Structure 1
Amino acid sequence: MTADPQIRAIAVLDDELRRGMYEFIRAARRPVTRDEAAAAVGISRKLAAFHLDKLVDAGVLRADYQAVTGIRKVGRAPKVYQPVGNDIRISIPPRHHDLLAGILLDAVLADSGNGGADRDARSATLRVARERGHDTGAAERERTRPGRLGAERALTLAAAALARHGFEPDRRSPTCMRLATCPFHPLVAKAPEMVCGINHAFLVGLLDGLGATTVEAVLDPRAGECCVELRTHS
């Protein structure tokens, strides 16, 4: 019997070296060579190639040959690796949270032609999203007890909370943080305005719960990333 692809992916990432290389490649946000992956976890290029190929075989990474700089060198371009676009999730017995989320989203969108009912459904959804974000931020503040927050500390605490919720925060500068992944991504294509609004409301609430008055959540959609950016007030 063929193993479930998700089980194979989880199994191959159980190895510490493979998991370290996979996390490095995801964080790089660009094609990564074998030499770079090897250096990231402190092993030889040959051993890195073995582990990287295992990750490719399990469907966790994809491999290609392409130049990684603008300088063309003699000979074949280096082999590079990138993460596949699919999520890695496993549940026993299977759970279909995305199906439930899609049904709930459809229920909100179905009210679009019902006048006031549409506004009530949408406003209630955004209110709940903001409340859930506030609870998340307040829990992080209670856990860390940071006192009065400056902008950089506020972004650091927000990053810790959001990393646990699948946003993959990327600190682009001391005053700006992008979110490399939208945890609601499978539903964005269906209703981008609604899903991004929920996302934004959640993050506004999270900052409020943290007491991060020096940071704001700003809608700034970019391809392949979350639609919201966290910035310090100008």
Structure 2
Amino acid sequence: MATPPAPSDDAPPPGGDPVGAVAVLADEQRRRMYAFARRVRHPVTREEAAAEAGISAKLAAFHLDKLVEAGLLRAWYDNPGGVRKVGRKPKVYEPTPADIRVSIPERRPDVIAEILLDAVLAQRPGEGARAAALRTARQCGQDIGAAERTRIRPGRLGPERSLSATEPLLAQYGFEPERRSPTSLALLNCPFHHLAARSPELVCGLNHAFLGGILDGLEATGVDAVLAPCAGRCCVELRDPAAAPDTEPPGAA
């Protein structure tokens, strides 16, 4: 059997829209075919999926293509089992490495887990575990910020442009940023809430270092990540460190 092609540039990213993927799987026949494709461990044809779901091949193809659109399956044309047939090769489907997780509000314990794993692997001689974790968290943020700075433009950014560049990054990580002034950004959700409840000093410290690293990577000026604990939201604000902390009613955490 031929090696499946690499995903095209316009293909949906695996797990890119978890809510949309879950919505697609709300259909019982799609769930059944998706489970079948994962269970058999080989690319399946629409006829195989149809037999599993007890529906027509045409309807099975419709549902399979919906799973492809959601990023849960990918498809290409091939001869299943390596058997040569006359005419066009049939379309086959196999699962993508999608990792679908939905949490409202969004929680991202995986970010902390990756930071801690990297800290263990890169701990320096004589360096304590907490110091290694904080250093790694800041470096992780710096890498993210530097990549974004390169994408938008090189050079240093003032407060307003720094926050404008930071907002979409923080939204990707579930922080729910809200601009309270041209140079002040509140974070209405803590993606690490459950972990912070267990060890607030450690987790909030890692969060502070991570967000500060993002600003470092962006080469932001006039704005900093400031610890400003407030019930119901993230413990960090992005603002002029000399400015007064935000005191508006918090949003949901």
Provide the TM-score with structure 2 as the length reference: 0.48
Asked whether 1:190 is paired with 2:198, we answer yes
Picking from 160, 169, 180, the partner of 1:172 is 180
Which is further off, 124-133 or 160-169? Answer: 160-169
Which one of 65, 76, 101 corresponds to residue 113 of structure 2?
A: 101
CA distance in 2 between partners of 1:137 and 1:179 (Å) = 17
Q: Is the 8 A contact 2:149 2:218 kept in 1?
A: yes
Partner of 1:124: 132
Quick one: distance in 1 between partners of 2:136 and 2:191? 17
5+ residue gaps, structure 1: 1-5, 15-85, 90-95, 109-116
The equivalent of 1:220 in structure 2 is 228
Partner of 1:50: none
Contact residue 204 and residue 235 of structure 2 kept, 8 A: yes
Alignment of 1:49-60 (within 5 A): none
- Asked if the contact 1:218/1:229 (under 8 Å) is kept, the reply is yes
Distance (Å, rounded) in 1 between the aligned partners of 2:143 and 2:170 = 13
Contact 1:134 1:209 in 2 (8 A): yes
Equivalent residues of 2:140, 2:213 under 8 A apart: yes
| Residues 63-102 of structure 1 aligned to structure 2 (within 5 Å) | 87-88=103-104, 101=113
- Find runs of 4+ consecutive structure 1 residues off by over 6 angstroms: 6-9
For 1:142 and 1:168, how far apart are their aligned partners in 2? Answer: 24
Q: How many residues align?
A: 140
Shift of 1:159: 1.0
Whichever residue aligns with residue 103 of structure 2, its letter is D
Identify which of 122, 142, 161 aligns with 1:153.
Answer: 161
Q: In structure 2, how many angstroms separate the alpha carbons of the residues matched to 1:11 and 1:210?
A: 36
Give the deviation of 1:232 after TM superposition: 2.3
Give me the whole-angstrom Cα distance separating, in 2, the residues matched to 1:231 and 1:202: 15
1:207 to 205, 215, 224: 215
Q: Distance in 2 between matches of 1:231 and 1:207?
A: 11
* Aligned residues with identical type, % of pairs: 59
Letter in structure 1 aligned against 2:224: E
Task: Name the larger-Rg structure.
Answer: 2
Q: What is the CA deviation profile of residues 108-135 of structure 1, one whole-angstrom value per residue up to 9, with x for unaligned ones? A: 9xxxxxxxx8x70000000000000000
The alpha-carbon distance between structure 1 residues 142 and 9, as it changes in their structure 2 partners (threshold 3 A), is: closer
**CA 88–8 in structure 1, closer or farther in 2 if over 3 Å, else same:** farther
Say what the alpha-carbon RMSD is for the aligned residues.
3.5
Code of the aligned partner of 1:155: L
Separation in structure 1 between the aligned mates of residue 109 and residue 217 of structure 2, nearest angstrom: 26
* Pairwise CA distance, 1:149: 1.3
Contact 1:9 1:88 in 2 (8 A): no
Shift of 1:233: 4.7
Contact 1:134 1:210 in 2 (8 A): yes
SS of 2:136 mapped into structure 1: helix
User: 1:88: how far off?
Assistant: 4.2
1:37 — aligned with what? Answer: none
Whether the 8 Å contact between 1:10 and 1:88 is mirrored in structure 2 is: no
Q: Which residue, out of 146, 150, 156, partners 1:142?
A: 150
- Give, as a single letter, the amino acid of the residue that structure 1 aligns with 2:156: R
In structure 2, relative to structure 1, the CA distance for the partners of 1:135 and 1:9 (3 Å cut) is closer
Partner of 1:189, secondary structure, is helix
Match of 2:63 in 1: none
Q: 1:232 to 1:9 in 2, by over 3 A?
A: same
* Residue identity in the other structure for 1:87: S
Write the distance in 2 (CA, Å) between the matches of 1:180 and 1:9: 25
Look up the equivalent residue of 2:170 and give its one-letter code: L
